[in-house]
A and B are shown apart, each in its own frame.
Chain A
């Protein structure tokens, strides 16, 4: 999918100059971006940049204190994750909320089990759940031999995928992914990026939170950069080539300062310093 004119797209979530203060500490301020159906909005930033505060506002864990949060054009103030979920915003956290020893299908339906029968005979509809798990995962491109295997036996990327597929199946229209590639190797990260693209192609709006521009750029349609609780801007893919994204992420000016600092303490001919200077050229 390529970047398109935003007016033609179905805007699911829009934040305008949103901010969050804890007492007199400003955790986030002046952040604006949009999430559209069939688009991936990447939120980039280093540790402590305000990414998790941003997620918590969208996911309903914390209400925002400044600005506006619009869902389907309506202004909303979430007071619980349940409300966000009801509005179709699902969050896949880093720990994925899966139970490693339980079979894949039990994990898939955990908390929202399908049942049949009535009264004391009300029971799990095992066949339905197994079949659904299999087809839903297949739709995401994961073909499991056996949905009865413990989810802990799957690779990290596959587990991410199960969590994503679960959110999609249970009616998410906006999917927030909190650093899904952070703990993964290169290959597994690639697998996850593939599933992010799949989710996008199924018409979901995806919010992809990461600190890695190399992961963000291939799948992203919009990029919103955060540093120290402030937005560095909200860009469409066309306006922001890869190298520019990388240098914005790396924070050119700050790296230069770091290089000077290291030069003073380690000496100018230190390998680290010369490499850093090389990068900055």
Chain B
């Protein structure tokens, strides 16, 4: 590798393709295309505007979380409270508005501040105690799950927000979080899809083009080394936990204002889906490697398979089996593409 001649000649055209394939998200991208084509060709409705809008919607909220979780995973940590956070923020806004008559925007802001505080607490506990984030956030997850159920029940006597649509100024945040454009014959593209694209773009920008992005890779890759060269490890980690919490808040709002309800168990069990999507998208479980776009493709795969199984008319009792097999297939394809790219170096 150290032949001392003109540099650019050695990077030839053919290796440019392998350079693209070497990106962490390329495997997920290929898998997503294969899965799309497969459902598009085997079912009638999947690729129509109506069909596409359902799996885009399903992918969008998962995708927003998966991108934030991917950033955190690249930074070397997990957040198992991310799923419960979507329920917590939605319930909080719902309760503050329907039960206490708080201004809807104020309630949204309160929820954001609280979410950020919980995220910061997660990060603080992880950094101060040195315990694995897996354990710390598992604790937060259970606490939130309990608060979601008990708190909601205690405050409004029910376990789901009802009557949200009657709250004054409900239409304003609904435009922002829950509205939809009609698309084609019977499709509608929801606001959450645009949020998803925006979040992915910003996360990619941060990861690839800012100092903070450089730090995130370093945190997960070799935290001690990062500290030695002057990366503000403590601040950056806490920032990452606050990011997933903020994403949880965003998804909470998207859910609340699209369906006008949130249940006490909303988001529980989703935290692993986010991690799975990030991993399918090329994130290493050990940290230091991955991409935001990859997580988005991971979520897209999840959303497409989830709805595609419905369109295929397969027995839904097998849904989880199909889903698992498809995800496994996607990861294997992902691995295969990456290995081929490595070999063609």
Residues of A within 8 A of B (CB): 93, 95-102, 106, 109-113, 115, 122-124, 126, 134, 142-146, 148
Contact A99 B10, CB 8 Å, known A110-B214, A111-B230, A122-B210: no
Chain B residue at minimum C-beta to C-beta distance from A123: B209
A124 to B215: give the CA distance in the assembly, Å: 12
Task: Please tell me which one of the listed residues A93, A101, A109, A134 contacts residue B214 in the complex, with CB atoms under 8 A apart.
Answer: A109
The interface residues of chain A lying within 8 Å CB-to-CB of B3 are: 143
CB distance from B340 to the nearest CB of A (A): 17
Instruction: Give the 6 A-B residue pairs with the shortest CB-CB distance, closest first.
Output: A99-B221, A111-B229, A111-B230, A97-B228, A97-B225, A113-B211
CB distance from A147 to the nearest CB of B (A): 9
Taking the complex as formed, is B309 at the interface, i.e. its CB lies under 8 A from any CB of chain A? no
A109 to B218: give the CA distance in the assembly, Å: 11
Contact A110 B229, CB 8 Å, known A134-B7, A145-B7: yes
CB distance from A205 to the nearest CB of B (A): 21
Mind listing 12 A-B residue pairs with CB under 8 Å? A93-B228, A97-B224, A97-B229, A99-B217, A99-B222, A110-B215, A110-B229, A111-B215, A111-B226, A123-B210, A124-B209, A124-B214
The interface residues of chain B lying within 8 Å CB-to-CB of A109 are: 214
Contact A110 B4, CB 8 Å, known A93-B228, A123-B209, A124-B210: no
A96 to B228: give the CA distance in the assembly, Å: 9
Q: Which of B211-254 contact A (CB under 8 A)?
A: 211, 213-215, 217-218, 221-222, 224-226, 228-231
Interface contacts beyond A101-B288, A143-B3: sample of 6 additional A-B pairs, CB < 8 Å, sorted by A: A97-B224, A99-B218, A99-B226, A106-B217, A134-B7, A144-B1
Task: Please tell me which one of the listed residues B7, B205, B221, B231 contacts residue A111 in the complex, with CB atoms under 8 A apart.
Answer: B231
Chain A residue at minimum C-beta to C-beta distance from B290: A101
Contact B2 A143 (CB under 8 A): yes
CB distance from A195 to the nearest CB of B (A): 13
A146 to B8: give the CA distance in the assembly, Å: 9
Contact B288 A102 (CB under 8 A): yes
CB distance from B95 to the nearest CB of A (A): 34
CB distance from A156 to the nearest CB of B (A): 14
CB distance from A176 to the nearest CB of B (A): 13
